């Protein structure tokens, strides 16, 4: 067991493309860290550099305090679980799991004992004599995990280990991975493109984009206090609503009405080079049916009326999609997120996703009065993507002073 430190680690390829740029990351001993981001953000390259499968162009990588830049994967004492599982098809499950131990030249009795132990933890005992071809996807995945845990390495690296499983099994395996990591207490770096996995699994989440770290923190912190537009849009499902907001007469003119701003934001916006156009972000759960709001809450928010397009009842709450007029919010980050999601981004001027209480009597097609919480609003600079509402790492809405 050991800590992993990435000190200004970069990866550039001979053709000049930079896959990872100056990544600084300290992973504590026993910590579960998730690297997340859209495809091509450099998360897998970072993982491969920690593994030793990819050379480090510059910077330093330390595992357990030791510089390992030039060490071969086999000398780093870390185990990896691959997205494709990469089981040896010519070996049985037992041989697969014993392979790292045999290479480490342990004696047969110890190998058997360790394999049996690991098999028991992962409930693989009845499958030990089968070949990978005769296993289901979930079983193969567990064998791949077994092969990793069997030799008690300093750290686990997992490269999208669950993405080949079907949705139900993925949720189930998520808890298996989580429980296993807690039980073994081994430092783990886990790569995924699925923000739900990132939110639910990790002690800390690292969000990457274009080879650079955007924000590092516990899942809730990333959710509540995103540092920039990209993080805000990436984390959360359904994702945050983004609306165009114009700064006029000390107010923000938006499709939801004129939003008042507090002293601190006003001071920020008074600067000479301050943007005149902003992007307003608000999460679906910070809306509520105006009928269901008490007076105290009403004072903290604002209301608007809009036609409800679609109502999706989830049982515990309702997802209601509204059409609002107004200009589209546009920024490079939003387009990138949309491209990654494989769809056109329905930012401002389009649909607004809200999550209302299940008690709301809202009907499709009717105009509905909706309340939203001003304390939960984020404002972003469209050119830099910076979250203007963030003050000392906390976001306090537009009214913060």
Give alpha helix (H) positions in 22-89. 43-51
Number of H helices, E strands in the chain: 11, 22
CB of residue 98 to another protein, shortest distance in Å? 10
Site string for another protein, 139-168 (x = CB under 8 A): -x------x---x-----x------x----
CB of residue 191 to another protein, shortest distance in Å? 14
Cβ atoms of 114 and 150 within 8 Å: the answer is yes
- Interface pick for another protein out of 58, 120, 137, 383 (rule CB under 8 A): 137
- Interface pick for another protein out of 39, 109, 133, 315 (rule CB under 8 A): 133
Taking the least distance from each CB to another protein, the nearer of 84 and 237 is: 84
68 in contact with another protein (CB under 8 A): no
- Interface pick for another protein out of 135, 235, 243, 261 (rule CB under 8 A): 135
- Among 277, 240, 247, 271, CA closest to 261: 247
Strands 32-36 and 187-192: parallel
CB of residue 128 to another protein, shortest distance in Å? 15
CB of residue 254 to another protein, shortest distance in Å? 46
Q: At what angle do helices 93-103 and 108-121 cross, to 10 degrees?
A: 130
- Interface pick for another protein out of 78, 155, 261, 290 (rule CB under 8 A): 78
Taking the least distance from each CB to another protein, the nearer of 86 and 184 is: 86
Q: What is the DSSP string of 289-338?
A: EGGG--HHHHHHEEEEEEEEEEEEE-SSEEEEEEE--SPPP--HHHHHHH
Strands 78-81 and 155-159: parallel
Taking the least distance from each CB to another protein, the nearer of 99 and 322 is: 99
Strands 32-36 and 394-395: unpaired
Whole-number Cα distances in Å, 256 to 15, 240, 348, 370: 48, 15, 10, 10
Site string for another protein, 5-34 (x = CB under 8 A): ------------------------------
Taking the least distance from each CB to another protein, the nearer of 166 and 249 is: 166
In whole angstroms, give the CA distance from residue 82 to residue 73.
14
Taking the least distance from each CB to another protein, the nearer of 163 and 323 is: 163
Taking the least distance from each CB to another protein, the nearer of 150 and 256 is: 150
Taking the least distance from each CB to another protein, the nearer of 140 and 286 is: 140
Site string for another protein, 79-118 (x = CB under 8 A): xx-xxxxxxxxx--------xx--xx--------------
Taking the least distance from each CB to another protein, the nearer of 51 and 311 is: 51
Using CB under 8 A, count the residues that bind another protein: 33
Report whether the peptide linkage leading into residue 325 is cis, meaning its omega lies within 30 degrees of zero: no
Whole-number Cα distances in Å, 399 to 167, 231, 237, 243, 252: 41, 22, 25, 17, 12
In whole angstroms, give the CA distance from residue 5 to residue 74.
19
CB of residue 110 to another protein, shortest distance in Å? 15
Site string for another protein, 32-61 (x = CB under 8 A): -------------------xxx--------
Residues 6 or more apart in contact with residue 132 via CB below 8 angstroms: 85, 87, 88, 89, 91, 93, 96, 140, 143
CB of residue 55 to another protein, shortest distance in Å? 13
Taking the least distance from each CB to another protein, the nearer of 48 and 387 is: 48
72 in contact with another protein (CB under 8 A): yes
132 in contact with another protein (CB under 8 A): yes
Give the chain's length. Answer: 401
Taking the least distance from each CB to another protein, the nearer of 99 and 321 is: 99
- Among 47, 11, 25, 346, CA closest to 214: 25
Q: Which residues bind another protein (CB under 8 A)?
A: 51-53, 72-74, 78-80, 82-90, 99-100, 103-104, 131-135, 137, 140, 147, 151, 157, 164
């Amino acid at each position: 067991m050991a800590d992993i430190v990435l000190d200004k680690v970069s990866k550039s390829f001979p053709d000049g493309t930079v896959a990872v740029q100056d990544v600084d990351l300290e992973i504590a001993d026993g910590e579960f860290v998730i690297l997340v981001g859209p495809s091509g953000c450099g998360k897998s390259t970072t993982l491969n550099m920690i593994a030793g499968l990819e050379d480090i162009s510059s910077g330093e990588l330390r595992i357990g305090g030791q510089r390992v830049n030039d060490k071969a994967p086999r000398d780093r004492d870390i185990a990896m679980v691959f997205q494709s599982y990469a089981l040896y098809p010519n070996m049985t499950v037992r041989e697969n799991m014993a392979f790292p131990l045999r290479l480490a030249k342990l004696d047969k009795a110890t190998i058997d004992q360790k394999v049996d132990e690991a098999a028991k933890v992962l409930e693989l005992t009845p499958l030990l004599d089968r070949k990978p071809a005769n296993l289901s996807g979930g079983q193969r995945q567990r064998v791949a995990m077994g092969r990793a845990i069997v030799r008690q390495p300093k750290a686990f690296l997992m490269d999208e280990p669950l993405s080949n499983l079907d949705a139900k099994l993925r949720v189930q395996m998520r808890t298996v991975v989580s429980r296993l990591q807690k039980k073994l207490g081994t430092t783990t770096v886990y790569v995924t493109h699925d923000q739900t996995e990132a939110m639910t699994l990790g002690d800390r989440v690292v969000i990457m984009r274009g080879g650079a770290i955007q924000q590092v923190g516990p899942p809730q912190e990333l959710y509540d206090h995103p540092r920039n537009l990209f993080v805000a849009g990436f984390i959360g499902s359904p994702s945050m609503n983004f609306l165009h907001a114009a700064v006029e007469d000390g107010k923000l003119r938006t499709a939801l009405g004129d939003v008042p701003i507090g002293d601190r934001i006003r001071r920020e916006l008074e600067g000479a080079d301050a943007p005149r156009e902003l992007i307003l972000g608000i999460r679906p759960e910070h809306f509520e049916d105006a009928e269901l709001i008490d007076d105290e809450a009403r004072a903290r928010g604002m209301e608007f009326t809009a036609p409800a397009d679609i109502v999706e009842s989830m049982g515990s709450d309702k997802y209601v999609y509204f059409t609002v007029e107004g200009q589209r919010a546009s920024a490079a980050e939003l387009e990138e997120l949309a491209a990654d999601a494989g769809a056109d981004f329905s930012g401002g001027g389009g649909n607004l996703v809200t999550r209302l209480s299940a008690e709301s009597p809202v009907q499709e097609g009717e105009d509905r009065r909706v309340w939203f919480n001003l304390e939960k609003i984020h404002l972003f600079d469209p050119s830099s993507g910076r979250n203007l509402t963030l003050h000392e790492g906390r976001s306090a809405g537009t009214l913060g002073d």
